[in-house]
Structure 1
Amino acid sequence: MCFDQDAANEAIAANIGIRHSDMARRVCAAVEHFITSALYASSNREVVGGTANVGGVTVRVPLQCFAIMADSRPHQVVHTRGRVGVREVVQRARLDEAARHGIEEGAINKGFNDHLGNADCQFGGWQQLGRIDEGGQWVTLGIN
């Protein structure tokens, strides 16, 4: 497969309004991980989302390539692939940036899974964000 990660990173960075910030750095790192995961996904359906029945409503479930490690249990994964996706990670970055500027969480329009509030975007800290490698071992993404 021919893919230019540098060109993808440039395109991502060019479309983020606040360039030299924690939010931009976090979003770029998360999207880079998502793109890499999508390249190696087993099918297009896995990337764009298969369907699931949620409360009687058919919804898309996109590639969820982020794992979250428990605070109190080092290297024990709480959420594994299929639980946390790029949009939840980006929303968390948006919420952190808003909080840094004193903007209340409720003022940020999430735009997806509104029925969950921001509960699906919460994790203990950026150092807890990672992935599970091919051998089933925890690997941090190094986002802080």
Structure 2
Amino acid sequence: MFGLFNKAPPEGDLALVKQALGKDVAVLVSASCCTQGTADIDARAEEAVRKALDDAGLDWPVLNLTLTQAQRALGALEGRLDPAEARLAGQVSELFMSHGLTAFPVVMVSQRLVSFGGAPDVALVRTALDTLPSHESAA
């Protein structure tokens, strides 16, 4: 009735989470769906990511996911992830299991976990970008 008990994630969420686990993308996974007052931290994290990408000369998308979107989609994507995607999903799940909602926001770039539990500074994100094998020469 009215889809209230439909736990299957929308197709758009599946595609978004699959893209978020891929390469050449920056991702902010937020607990704003579950914790009030996190918008400022999420905004600072996104600002740092965008600045670091700009400094590196990378025109990557910056995706925003909520914890709820990620959890629902990952269950549906199980068995359809390549090893690198599954490893990254496992890292985020492990953070949630060990730290709960305090692990968020989680910042990832190109299949690499960069930070969790707060807004990273630009230098931290830029260091992660500079150490990616395919982007070592980024300005």
The structure in which a higher percent of residues are strand is: 1
Structure number with the higher helix fraction is: 2
Q: Which has the higher contact order (CA 8 A, sep 6+)?
A: 2
TM-score under structure 2 length normalisation: 0.30
| Length-normalised TM-score, structure 1 | 0.30
